[in-house]
Amino acid sequence: MTLLATPQEVRLDLLSRREIALLDLREEDPFAKDHPLFAANLPLSRLELEVLDRLPRKDVRIVLYDDGEGLVAPAAARLRALGYANLRELEGGLEGWRAAGLELFQDVNSASKAFGELVESRRHTPSLPAGEAKALIDREPNLVVLDARRWDEYQTMSIPRGVSTPGAELVLRAGEIAPDPTTTIIVNCAGRTRSIIGAQSLVNAGLPNPVYALRNGAIGWTLEGLTLDRGQDRRAPEPSDAGEAVAQGRARAVAYRAGVKRLSAAEYAELAQDRSRTLYRFDVRTPEEYAAGHLPGFRSGPGGQLVQETDHFAPVRGARIVLADERGVRADMSASWLAQMGWEVYVLDEATGAALETGPWRAARPPLPAAQSIGVEALAERLDAGEVTVIDLAPSPAHRRGHIPGAWFAIRAGLAEALQNLPGEHDFVLTSPDAALCHLAAAELEALTAKTPLVLDGGTAAWTRAGRPLETGLSRAASPPVDVYKRPYEGTDHGREAMQAYLDWEFGLVDQLKRDGSHGFFVI
């Protein structure tokens, strides 16, 4: 039996900065509808595949909750099997939090977004509404638009003349893009947070240029009936040596004002030996730089996304964070924001060395259970003969983009309910992008059906590599696609009402922070 933690005890842990991971075990869509400010979404469906990196210390205090779905008991059992021992269940679950009169937040990355709104309200970050920005963009040649989102988001849709400059790169590269101090700089994202943080980063760093956030980002642009670009590929240039040196001085000064601590290599090595505290290590450079060579033990966490999605990267509130960036600028600026968000954050001053690892970041995984497998060719034959039912455990967006013809979409944690919608007369074959989820789910499906399922060897990726065709869409859904929250600020197919409702929610976050009272944020 898992011990209980009351909502009041959890709140006291947050207020006193004791380490705690408050984990919401539901899928992302229900999580986005209601959750405590510092809850982190770790769905039961993917728990084993994410938990080792997100909760690196096995004896950290973990509080689990759901909303009556019965997810806590299986999650606790899986965590104990992985060596996590300090487990509690939130008394009363989500309803217990609500009944205690404590604040609930919506959307994802709520703490980071609320912090962004607090920054704007206290610093009065300069901004331009879409109409004024459009007029300037159309008539003013001495102007640059810097898009602070991820590269893939920028390529999906962007503001005219926008140049991809992900958040942590702004202070490093803006001087190269706009060396004339009279050049106007407009920083945009999809909604509000990264526009605000990006523009305020340039202001904090003392750039002499006129700097503005695009008010309400691409959502505001769309609501004004303005046209977005698609498929652009403009990237911010590399800074000159002189420009980089100036950026380093500016960023270091901002980090100092925010109270960021600094570590030598020897000091970092000593800090890393402290097993009584959770230590997150992030390389805040671009993914390409990370893949070319990074310090062992550091996860790729590009600075802009790290600040935007801190709850995902670092679910243990009260933990320590160390940032690495051999240029210093990205680490200093990212650390300045994390410090203001209440984190104990350090910058590694000696972020280079001979013992570098290469390649993209890969999540740590426990050993996967064995399962009976089937190869691509054998599956194709049995599909043609109508002998099997394929269950695809991929995230719903991946399933929509391409799945094995005839496959049913299902969510691992919802297999019992999904079976009511699946044809049961044939053998089951499980697939997922790389088959990892299938190995975890095979025994669970067998316990529910008394039939031994097969796992596609190599998953859907192997099917694709073999040149087999894929089907698109979501025509066979055994589970509702609640694994992913449809963000009103991403993509190009959102209704105006959803966009406006999202903006209205963001506008109310400062008042919610005041009512909640647990955040500990400050703004320099």
Is 22 or 490 the better-scoring residue by pLDDT? Answer: 22
pLDDT of 2 reads 84
CB 81 within 8 A of CB 369: no
| DSSP string for 347-359 | EES----S--B-S
pLDDT at 496 over 90: no
Q: What is the 3-state secondary structure (H, E, C) of 217-262?
A: HHHHHHHCCCCCECCCCCECCCCCHHHHHHHHHHHHHHHHHCCCEE
Q: What is the mean pLDDT of residues 58-82?
A: 98
pLDDT digits (tens, 9 = 90+) for 186-221: 999 999 999 999 999 999 999 999 999 999 999 999
pLDDT at 492 over 60: no
102/35 Cα distance (integer angstroms): 10
Q: What is the pTM of this model?
A: 0.95
Burial of 298 (0-12, 13-18, 19+ CB in 10 A): buried
124 CA to centre of own chain: 27
pLDDT at 493 over 80: no
Where are the domains positioned within the chain?
A: 3-108, 115-238, 256-348, 373-465
pLDDT of 62 reads 98
The CATH code that applies to domain 256-348 is 3.40.250.10
Ranking 234-243, 329-338, 464-473, 493-502 by mean pLDDT, the lowest is 493-502
Token digits for 331? Answer: 């680490």
The CATH code that applies to domain 3-108 is 3.40.250.10
Three-class secondary structure of residue 89 per DSSP = strand
pLDDT of 193 reads 95
pLDDT at 265 over 70: yes
Token digits for 270? Answer: 């000593």
Whether the CA torsion 355, 359, 361, 367 is positive or negative: it is negative
pLDDT band at 354 (very low <50, low <70, confident <90, very high): low
411/436 Cα distance (integer angstroms): 14
Three-class secondary structure of residue 46 per DSSP = helix
- Convert 112-146 to b/e letters by CB count within 10 Å (16 or more is b): bbbbbbbbbbeeebbbbebeebbebbeeeeebbbb
Tokens 């994202």 map to which residue? 189
Whether the CA torsion 197, 350, 175, 164 is positive or negative: it is negative
524/257 Cα distance (integer angstroms): 7
180/172 Cα distance (integer angstroms): 15
Q: What is the mean pLDDT of residues 72-97?
A: 98
pLDDT of 328 reads 96
Q: What is the mean pLDDT of residues 440-463?
A: 97
Token digits for 63? Answer: 């509080």
Alpha carbon distances (Å) from 455 to 285, 405, 420? 37, 16, 21
Q: What is the mean pLDDT of residues 333-343?
A: 98
pLDDT of 277 reads 97
Alpha carbon distances (Å) from 130 to 200, 202, 504? 18, 20, 16
CB 484 within 8 A of CB 396: yes
| CATH number 3.40.250.10 given to 373-465 | yes
CATH of 115-238, one of 3.40.50.620, 3.40.50.300, 3.40.190.10, 3.40.250.10: 3.40.250.10
426/416 Cα distance (integer angstroms): 17
Three-class secondary structure of residue 62 per DSSP = strand
pLDDT digits (tens, 9 = 90+) for 281-303: 999 999 999 999 999 999 999 99
pLDDT at 338 over 70: yes
pLDDT of 494 reads 61
pLDDT band at 503 (very low <50, low <70, confident <90, very high): confident
66/76 Cα distance (integer angstroms): 12
60/319 Cα distance (integer angstroms): 10
Q: What does the chain come to in residues?
A: 524
Q: What is the mean pLDDT of residues 437-466?
A: 97
pLDDT at 497 over 90: no
Looking at every residue in the chain, the average pLDDT score rounds to: 95
Amino acid (one-letter) located at 390: V
pLDDT at 183 over 90: yes
pLDDT at 1 over 80: no
174/39 Cα distance (integer angstroms): 35
149/195 Cα distance (integer angstroms): 9
- The conformation of residue 67, written as its DSSP 8-state character, comes to S
pLDDT at 408 over 70: yes
Mark residue 327 as left, alpha or beta (left: phi above 0; alpha: psi -120 to 50; beta: remaining): alpha
Task: Assess whether the region 3-108 and the region 115-238 belong to the same CATH fold.
Answer: yes
160/383 Cα distance (integer angstroms): 48
pLDDT of 296 reads 94
Residues 6+ apart with CB under 8 A from 480: none
Q: 21-24 and 127-128 as β-strands: parallel, antiparallel, unpaired?
A: unpaired
pLDDT at 488 over 90: no
Tokens 């000593």 map to which residue? 270
How is the beta sheet containing 3-5 ordered, strand by strand?
A: 3-5, 87-90, 62-65, 21-24, 40-41
CB 510 within 8 A of CB 121: yes
pLDDT at 81 over 60: yes
CB 338 within 8 A of CB 167: no
pLDDT of 491 reads 58
Is 278 or 493 the better-scoring residue by pLDDT? Answer: 278
pLDDT of 486 reads 87
